[in-house]
Amino acid sequence: MLTARGLALANEQDTAAVFEDALREIRFCREPWYTPKRADEYSDFDIHPYEASLRVMRDSEGWIDRDEYELFVSRLRNADEIPWAVDCVGKFRLLEERHRSLLLEDVRHQLPSDKTYQNWRDMSLHTFSLFSLGTSALRVNRELRLLDRAFLQPAAPRPTRTPVADKTPGIHSSERLPMPLRPPPTTPPELVTPPVAPMANSGTDAELLVGKMLEADGWRVVYYSHRRGFGFDIWAQRAEQAVLIEVKSAVKSASTVTLTRLEYEAAQQYPANYILAIVEKLGTSAPVIHYVSNPTAVLAINESVSTEYRIARSSWEPAAASKLA
């Protein structure tokens, strides 16, 4: 028999919000999240791991890496110790690489090795993946980042010498993610609710990235990437505005972008509400998202023999939205 939250995961289209609530409730080490024996063994711990991690990130430039999590965050016993963890993370980032390595090695030697179990304190990379299921954080390789600040700037490189104050004001424009999506002026009535479709789909990495960025900006997101008969990957709604988003991605730089016949027809049917999202450097620590509104009207599109619609970078890049309000 499913619990109320299990039913919500089965029926809700926005599963990230369900996971967010569940993650915020987990309490280490207390029942019912842990067995009585484990709760007794860790009786000096009384903390919400997800909430604690978010608080440390907010005061640590919006991110933490795996080593910082293992050394400091995972050892928090209660919320009163969070400022200590923030202070330690800041000092750890100022250490040279060899000093960080020595510290990590020394700590590992002090920990018991014959453990018959693992939990959130031991498996940081898996914990990062777990915490990314919600709406507040995103895992990027060995780092966990607050979603609302995930791509304002890349994680600071480790200093190899005494750091010098950066005199360059602000962040270089190439390091910024475009602002959130600009809503269209009107929305056809049939787009105000999600188009009828079969079972929900989690989407690919690029689609999840775009979807989570939209959710962080207040959009409701439904994924359509593996559903037949729809020419878009994401339906998104905020207030009375709705858009259809087709996501294209590349592990490096994107060159030609291809639209299928169905995608092209959907873009023509809802021109003001159709967005082409092009994700570059997917899987790296600094992915880039370009948004193009009404692509069939503003881009030079050439029909190929296979009835696909190709858009050259020289066409879509200048049209990519630089602001989303």
What fold characterizes domain 178-319? Trna Endonuclease; Chain: A, domain 1 (3.40.1350)
Angle between helices 15-25 and 205-216 (to 10 degrees): 70
Kindly report which listed range (6-10, 251-255, 299-303, 305-309) carries the lowest average pLDDT score. 305-309
Query: Kind and range of the H or E element at 65?
Result: strand 63-65
Average pLDDT (273-292) is 88
Tell me how far apart the alpha carbons of residues 159 and 113 are, in angstroms, rounded to a whole number: 31
- As a whole number of angstroms, the distance between CA 71 and CA 215 comes to 31
Please check whether residue 136 is in contact with residue 20, taking contact to mean a CB–CB distance below 8 angstroms. Answer: yes
The pLDDT tens digits for 194-248 are 776 544 434 478 888 899 889 888 898 888 876 667 889 999 999 889 999 999 9
Q: What percent of the chain stands above pLDDT 90?
A: 28
Average pLDDT, the chain: 79
Q: How far apart are CA 26 and CA 46, in angstroms?
A: 10
| Selected residue with higher pLDDT from 141 and 58 | 58
Q: Which of residues 194 and 137 earns the better pLDDT score?
A: 137
Label residue 282 by pLDDT band (50, 70, 90): confident
Condensed to tens digits (0 to 9), the pLDDT of residues 83-133 reads 999 999 999 999 988 888 888 877 766 655 555 444 544 567 788 888 988
Q: Confidence class of residue 58 from pLDDT cuts 50, 70 and 90?
A: very high
Q: What is the pLDDT of residue 208?
A: 86
Return d(Cα 18, Cα 185) in angstroms, integer.
Answer: 31
Q: What pLDDT is recorded for position 155?
A: 47
CA neighbours within 13 Å on the CB side: how many for 267? 24
d(CA 312, CA 254) in angstroms, rounded, equals 9
Per-domain residue ranges of the chain:
4-173, 178-319
pLDDT-based confidence at 24, cuts 50/70/90?
A: very high
CA 230 to chain centre: 24
In angstroms, the Cα distances linking 19 to 91, 110, 183 are 32, 34, 27
